[in-house]
Amino acid sequence: MADPIRPDSADALATIIADAASDGTRLRLRGGGSKDAIGAPTPEARIVDMRGFSGVVDYDPPELVLTVKAGTPLAEIQALVADHGQMLAFDPFDHGAMLGCADGEATIGGIVAAGVAGPTRVSRGAARDHLLGFVGVSGRGERFVAGAKVVKNVTGYDLSKLVTGSWGRLVAITEVTLKVLPAPRLQRTLGVAGLDPAAAISAMARAMGSAAEVSAAAHLQDWNGAPLTAIRLDGFPSSVEARAAIITALIDGVAPVADEEAARLWPAITTAAPLPTDVPLWRIVAPAARMPDVIAAVGGRWLLDWAGGLLWLASTDDAQAIRAAAMQAGGHAMLVRADAETRAAVPALHPQPKALATLEERVRRAFDPAGVFETGRF
Amino acid sequence: MSIKMPAPDETVLARRGEIVAAMRAIVPGEGVIDKADELRPYESDALTAYRQPPMVVVLPETTGQVAAILRWCHANRVKVVPRGAGTSLSGGALPLADGVLLGMARFNRILDVDYADRLVVVQPGVTNLAITRAVEDDGFYYAPDPSSQIACTIGGNVAENSGGVHCLKYGLTTNNVLGVEFVTIEGEVLRVGGRGLEPAGLDLLGVIVGSEGLLGVVTEVTVRILPRPETARALLIGFPEVEGAGRCVADVIAAGIIPAGMEMMDKPAVHAAEAFVQVGYPLDVEALLIVELDGPAAECSHLLEEVETIARANGAVSIRISTDDAERVAFWAGRKAAFPAAGRLAPDYLCMDGTIPRRRLPDVLARMRALSEQYGLGVINVFHAGDGNLHPLILYDANKPGELEQAEAFGADILRLCVEVGGVLTGEHGVGVEKRDLMPVMFSEIDLAQQQRVKCAFDPELLLNPGKMFPELHRCAELGRMHVHRGALPFPDLPRF
Ligand SMILES: Cc1cc2nc3c(=O)[nH]c(=O)nc-3n(C[C@H](O)[C@H](O)[C@H](O)COP(=O)(O)OP(=O)(O)OC[C@H]3O[C@@H](n4cnc5c(N)ncnc54)[C@H](O)[C@@H]3O)c2cc1C
Ligand SMILES: Cc1cc2nc3c(=O)[nH]c(=O)nc-3n(C[C@H](O)[C@H](O)[C@H](O)COP(=O)(O)OP(=O)(O)OC[C@H]3O[C@@H](n4cnc5c(N)ncnc54)[C@H](O)[C@@H]3O)c2cc1C
């Protein structure tokens, strides 16, 4: 396998991609490589290292807009916005450790391409909701711009949504413009121990449906030896207190979780850290109310995020059976972590119905007619 | 009318009888309209300067009928324009002389309300407000609230990715839609997204929202609903100069506050609104700001104080804080009446919709005033201040020869100005016919070609709502061609996946 190529200008990248389209080389785009272990191995693909595109282009905090090169490390961006009391509101997180790599490697381009969403998905949305625009090079080897650098825009198709979660299969992203938001002054977590999945999901639904403006809600099968349902409130101190009172009145047995413990709890939920690492890891998205059925149908260890709408499942069950259970509940299942042999046999992304798969393929060909980015990974 | 629609295809016009008969075979009875006087109500949307009766109007009631209509039109190369309530301000639902107008008004049922997962499943012809009405007794609401919400349909909202005064905090339509069922021009019924928080695969849902009826016809929509905040209170703040108001907005956000709504009106807008609704707006200020805060009572009173302090520091000369809900609603009444108020100042007006980086506001307003003098046409400004979305209303009289063209030229200059300062042509109303020919101001030919290739993936024959959004529709085969690079042939075989 040839060495990775590391372009640092859109022109150089465009030439690399156009050449690849001409001679049939497949290109695998890589940011920090923290997600290399997702999807089928692709020994033949040439790696394009996108970290040559690095640095902040523009950041004006009161405009709530940040423009950065796609290869910029996430950690650097988070430090910058934190200095101004702001945050990337979709909770991006470095999943290096979850996938057996070093932390601190994730790039913002990789985060966007992976369509990341942390626990606050339920209140503030995912990467898709915060990508305002981007610059990239298509599989045609053409540099183009989509979206804009203001928070409200409907000019032309919203290609930012398509590119988010496209896993490097549409466009090599060189620059992204993201919406940023003020970071909350205070976070407080309330917990209730001992609920079964159905009771936990129902408690979380009541909390989400109350005026308490819950930021995040999760349920762990085992935290300190017992099931824990955790509800987080973010905001101004007076507000957080008032909302904590609403939750306390609403859910029996709820008690504050100490700040130090909460500071360990939420990253653990985001990275599915409490689950065993030596079995395949699945990420199942389905309506929360149906999730107890999924849990009942599969074996393994699990935890629930997004008020029950996201199930992280570590399971040795048959892949087909897991996907069937997810579909039965109106959801879908992604294989996030597994040994190379399993990944070669089981597609990482949930297979789509035929008509939709055909349309998706037509959309991919609209960006990448020659299949330069089709490495066989997904 | 300076923007031209594609010339009608004479051969299609000649087949009108056959096309009407085919539609009648699919949708019986009153659902097909072909009499000239009955077509007239459909000849325009809210961009009333543009009018064109369609060849025929079809009002299907089922997804099966929509699929059959589209399949027939595709097989017979007949163009289709979808329509909701016809409140588009950009001409998105403007009919074509040689096209079928597909009215979705009969898709008016709420199919499911699910409080456990906090969502509502509706047909696309349900109005925006009807969704909130269906759930408000249980303490919920649907957040995006375009001013047209009594009339506009959720299908139209999806197509335009509509916003409202609350979208700074709660997002546009795209952030509140979980899934849609839609029908492709080939008649294929597809579902993207659903009741879960994330669709599987490529985010096609994300590109269908905001596609202005060019990619597919939406036949069902699943939206997220939110619990109604415990309280909402508003401040009405007057400034002696626009700069102070602009700084106040920036400082509020810099203080970590994202208000539920933050609207600005310039002096002419304040005067027009006050004359119309008499709610006690101060008339001696250059800019009026309405800031609404929502949440628990404790949060509201804390933030009201903070905003008041920030406003004073930026030279506010009058500050009123709502003490009850009636007063809060009164603060909004003038802002919400801005359109009809403009209607009293002049026989006609054009509503523009550019977004700018907020820091450029004073500069942009000053240049707008200069343009107003240059064109000899009045302009009043209402403005979603929190997110930089401007709504200049250009006043004109369509009965005076040439004045519409002048108003359009003025509007185009305003939008060019928005792009020049780093903003965009449209923040929530869509490109449609109105801004179609300005797209090259914002996008290069390569950018536009890439967008159009997405159109080609959904609708290779370009039959769905042509003449909107793209200044020039290239044939898809032409766009698909790749340049031969360095004399080598493009990679020929199809990829593995
Ligand atoms: C199922 C799953 C859930 C996750 N959930 C979360 C979460 O909730 N919160 C969170 O913060 N993180 C989450 N992550 C982690 C997130 O995906 C990574 O942090 C991020 O992708 C790492 O960036 P990287 O630079 O290391 O990417 P890489 O591992 O290098 O690449 C990731 C993907 O992005 C593509 N890519 C990389 N750079 C570019 C570019 N410039 N242009 C186009 N494509 C590019 C690659 O081809 C690859 O498909 C999740 C990951 C997975 C798999
Ligand atoms: C007084 C007034 C105030 C307004 N205020 C706002 C505001 O605050 N914010 C805002 O964003 N907009 C506003 N608008 C604009 C307008 O109301 C919105 O764009 C609205 O979403 C249009 O909905 P509609 O049902 O009227 O759609 P139509 O005008 O009928 O159609 C709009 C577009 O949607 C397409 N379409 C409609 N239904 C479907 C379907 N089922 N499938 C596919 N395509 C479809 C049409 O082809 C067309 O391109 C306002 C308009 C008026 C007249």
Which pLDDT value is given to residue B489?
A: 43
Same domain, B331 and B237: yes
Between A155, A160, A235, which is nearest B431 by CB?
A155
pTM: 0.95
Residues A62 and A173 in one domain: yes
CATH code of B165's domain:
3.30.465.10
End residue of a domain, out of B202, B227, B252: B227
Same domain, B114 and B223: yes
Q: Tell me how far apart the alpha carbons of residues B133 and B146 are, in angstroms, rounded to a whole number.
A: 15
CA–CA separation, A346 vs A365, rounded Å? 23
Question: What is the spatial distance between Cα B57 and Cα B36, in angstroms, rounded to a whole number?
Answer: 11
What average pLDDT does the segment A122-135 reach? 96
pLDDT of residue B495: 39
Answer whether residue B41 is part of any domain. Answer: yes
- B286 and B201 share one domain: no
Question: What is each CA distance from A30 to A81, A92, A100, in whole angstroms?
Answer: 24, 17, 16
Q: In a 10 Å sphere around its CB, with 0-12 CB exposed, 13-18 middle and 19+ buried, how is residue A226 labelled?
A: exposed
Is A114 domain-assigned? yes
Q: Which ligand is nearest to the CA of A266?
A: 1
Residue B446 counted as domain residue = no
Please count the residue pairs, one from chain A and one from chain B, whose beta carbons lie less than 8 angstroms apart.
302
Element (H, E) at A273: none
Based on the fold, state whether residues A218 and A231 are members of the same structural domain.
Answer: yes
Residue A180: enclosing H or E segment and its boundaries?
Answer: none
B351: nearest Cα among B144, B100, B88: B88
Final residue of a domain: which of B227, B246, B274? B227
Q: Pick the atom of ligand 2 nearest to B212's CA.
A: 49
Whether residue A363 is contained in a domain is answered as no
Q: CATH number of the domain that A264 lies in?
A: 3.30.70
B318 and B246 assigned to the same domain: yes
Mutation site for B-interface testing, chosen from A22, A60, A131, A152 by largest number of B Cβ within 10 Å: A152
- Would B159 be classed as within a structural domain? yes
CB < 8 Å to A146, chain B: 447, 450-451
B429 located within any domain: yes
Residue A94 has pLDDT above 70, yes or no: no
A341 is a domain residue: no
Q: What integer is the mean pLDDT of B475-484?
A: 79
Q: What letters, b where the CB count within 10 A reaches 16 and e where it falls short, cover B371-406?
A: bbeebebbbbbbbbbbbbbbbbbbbbeeeeeebbeb
Reference B90, options A154, A170, A132; nearest CA is: A154
Q: In terms of domains, do B358 and B332 share one?
A: no
**Pairing mode of beta strands B140-141, B177-183:** unpaired
Is B447:A146 a contact under the CB 8 Å cutoff?
Answer: yes
Quickly state the pLDDT bin for A53 (edges 50, 70, 90).
very high
Average pLDDT over residues A271-297: 96
Looking at the domain assignment, is residue B452 inside a domain? no
Query: CA B148, CA A340: separation in Å to the nearest integer?
Result: 54
Residue ending a domain, among A248, A270, A292, is A270
Q: Residue B377: which domain range?
A: 346-438
The CB of A111 under 6 Å from ligand 1? The reply is yes
Residue B159 has pLDDT above 80, yes or no: yes
Quick check: is B413 in a domain? yes
Distances (CA, A) of A366 to A15, A87, A233, B491: 19, 34, 43, 15
Confirm if B368 and B423 have CB atoms less than 8 A apart: no
Q: Assign residue B67 the CATH number of its domain.
A: 3.30.43.10
| B320-347: pLDDT as tens digits | 999 999 999 999 999 988 888 988 899 9
Atom of ligand 2 minimally distant from the CA of B339: 1
d(C-alpha A301, C-alpha A227), whole Å: 12
Do B114 and B210 fall into the same domain? yes
Q: DSSP state, A240?
A: H
Q: Are residues A232 and A177 in the same domain?
A: no
Percent of chain A with pLDDT over 90: 87
> Is A192 found in the same domain as A151?
no
Q: Which of B438, B459, B482 is the last residue of a domain?
A: B438
Q: What does the pLDDT read at residue A95?
A: 62
Q: Does B424 touch chain A (CB under 8 A)?
A: yes
End-of-domain residue from the set A133, A155, A182: A182
Residue having the nearest C-alpha atom to atom 49 of ligand 2: B92
Q: How confident is the model at residue A34 (pLDDT cuts 50, 70, 90)?
A: low
**Structure confidence at residue B493 as a pLDDT band (50, 70, 90):** very low
Cβ of A117 less than 6 Å from ligand 1? yes
Would you say A329 and A290 are in contact if contact means Cβ atoms under 8 Å apart? yes
Q: What CATH number is associated with residue A93?
A: 3.30.465.10
Asked if residue B491 has pLDDT above 50, the reply is no
Q: Does B415 touch chain A (CB under 8 A)?
A: no
A295-309, B307-321, B472-486 — which is least confidently predicted?
A: B472-486
Say if A265 falls within a structural domain. Answer: yes
Q: What is the pLDDT of residues B10-43, one digit of tens each?
A: 999 999 999 999 999 999 999 999 999 999 999 9
- Average pLDDT (A253-262) is 97
The verdict on A57 and A114 lying in the same domain is yes
B191, B429, B453 ranked by CB distance to A366: nearest: B453
Residue B423 predicted with pLDDT over 50: yes
pLDDT band at A375 (very low <50, low <70, confident <90, very high): confident
With an 8 Å Cβ cutoff, is B48 touching chain A?
no
**Ligand 1 mean position, distance from CA B219 (Å):** 34
Final residue before a domain boundary, out of A270, A302, A331: A270
A355 touches chain B (CB under 8 A): yes
Tokens of A193: 């121990």
CATH number where B377 lies: 3.30.70.2740
Q: Is the same domain home to A147 and A240?
A: no
pLDDT level of residue B417 (50, 70, 90 thresholds):
very high
Q: Does the pLDDT at position A36 exceed 70?
A: no
Give CA–CA dist A273/A266, Å, rounded.
10
Which residue's CA is the nearest one to ligand 1's atom 35?
A168
The CA-based dihedral angle spanning residues B435, B436, B440, B445, taken in that order and rounded to the nearest 10 degrees: 160
B296 — contact with chain A (CB < 8 Å)? yes
Kindly state whether residues A165 and A215 are assigned to the same domain. no
For the stretch B342-395, pLDDT in tens is 888 999 999 999 999 999 998 999 999 999 999 999 999 999 999 999 999 999
CB A27 within 8 A of CB B491: no
B177-183 and B189-193 beta bridge pairing: antiparallel
What pLDDT sits at residue B104?
A: 98
- The reply to whether ligand 1 has any atom less than 6 angstroms from the CB of A141 is no
pLDDT for A158 beyond 50: yes
Cβ contact, residue pair B161, A154, below 8 Å? yes
DSSP codes of every residue in A129-163? GTEEEEEEEETTS-EEEEE-SSS---SS--HHHHH
Q: Does the pLDDT at position A2 exceed 90? A: no
* Number of compact structural domains in chain B: 4
- Residue A100 is predicted with a pLDDT of 59
CA of B193 to the centre of ligand 2 (A): 22
Q: Which residues of chain B are within 8 Å of residue A246 when distances are taken between CB atoms?
A: 296
A17 or A101: which leads in pLDDT: A17
Position B497 scores a pLDDT of 35
The sheet carrying B99-103 orders its strands as B32-33, B56-58, B99-103, B79-83
A355's CB contacts (< 8 A; 6+ apart) are B188, B190
**Could you list the residue range(s) of the whole structural domain that residue A140 is in?**
50-182
Compute the distance between CA of residue B148 and CA of residue B152 in angstroms, rounded to an integer.
6
Instruction: Nearest by CB to B482, from A140, A181, A209: name it.
Output: A140
pLDDT at B494 over 70: no
Residues B377 and B414 reside in one and the same domain: yes
- B447 occurs within a structural domain: no
Helix (H), strand (E), coil (C) string for chain B: CCCCCCCCCHHHHHCHHHHHHHHHHHCCHHHEECCHHHHHHHCCCCCCCCCCCCCEEECCCCHHHHHHHHHHHHHCCCEEEEECCCCCCCCCCCCCCCEEEEECCCCCCEEEEECCCCEEEECCCCEHHHHHHHHHHHCEECCCCCCCCCCCEHHHHHHHCCCCCCHHHHCCHHHCEEEEEEECCCCCEEEEECCCCCCCCCCHHHHHCCCCCCCCEEEEEEEECEECCCEEEEEEEEECCHHHHHHHHHHHHHCCCCCCEEEEEEHHHHHHHHHHHCCCCCCCCCEEEEEEEEECHHHHHHHHHHHHHHHHHCCCCEEEECCCHHHHHHHHHHHHCHHHHHHHHCCEEEECCCECCHHHHHHHHHHHHHHHHHHCCCEEEEEEHHHCEEEEEEEECCCCCCHHHHHHHHHHHHHHHHHHCCCECCCCCCCCCCCHHHHHHHCCHHHHHHHHHHHHHHCCCCCECCCCCCCCCCCHHHHHCCCCECCECCCCCCCCC
Question: What spacing in Å lies between the alpha carbon of B24 and ligand 2's midpoint?
Answer: 27
Question: Can you tell me the distance from the alpha carbon of A114 to that of A136, in angstroms, rounded to the nearest whole number?
Answer: 16
Of B174, B203, B480, the CB nearest to A165: B203
Cα–chain center distance at B124: 15
Task: Decide if A346 is inside a domain.
Answer: no
My answer on whether A173 and A195 are in the same domain is: no
Residue A73 located in a structural domain: yes
The answer on A209 and A192 residing in a single domain is yes
Assigned domain for A302 exists: no
Ligand 2: atom nearest CA of B162 is 11
**A71-86 core/surface letters (b: 16 or more CB in 10 A; e: else):** bbbbeebbebbeebeb
- A305 CB less than 6 Å from ligand 1? no
In whole angstroms, give the CA distance from residue B301 to residue B233.
Answer: 8
CA-to-CA distance for A60 and A58, rounded, in angstroms? 7
Q: A234-246 pLDDT, tens per residue?
A: 999 999 999 999 9
Average pLDDT, chain B: 94
Q: Based on the structure, what is the number of domains in chain A? A: 2
Nearest to residue A69, comparing CAs of A101, A110, A130?
A110
Whether the pLDDT of residue B269 is over 60: the answer is yes
A253 lies in some domain: yes
Nearest ligand to the CA atom of B122: 2
Position B472 in a domain: no
Residue of B nearest to A361 (CA): B457
CB A32 within 8 A of CB A73: yes
Residues B238 and B311 in one domain: yes
Name the A residues in 116-145 with CB < 8 Å from any B CB: 117, 121-122, 125-126, 128-129, 138, 140-145
Q: Of A49, A95, A138, which is best to mutate to test ligand 1, by the most ligand atoms within 8 angstroms of its C-beta? A: A95
pLDDT at B2: 77
- State the Cα–Cα distance between residues A104 and A48, nearest whole angstrom: 19
Q: Are residues B120 and B218 in the same domain?
A: yes
pLDDT score for B224:
97
Residue A165 and residue B447: Cβ atoms within 8 Å? no
B423 contacts on A by Cβ (under 8 Å): 148, 150
Confidence tier at A99 by pLDDT (50, 70, 90) = low
A66 and A157 both lie in a single domain? yes
Residues B19 and B97 in one domain: yes
One domain for residues B20 and B70 = yes
User: Same domain, yes or no, for B32 and B119?
Assistant: no
pLDDT exceeds cutoff 80 at A262? yes
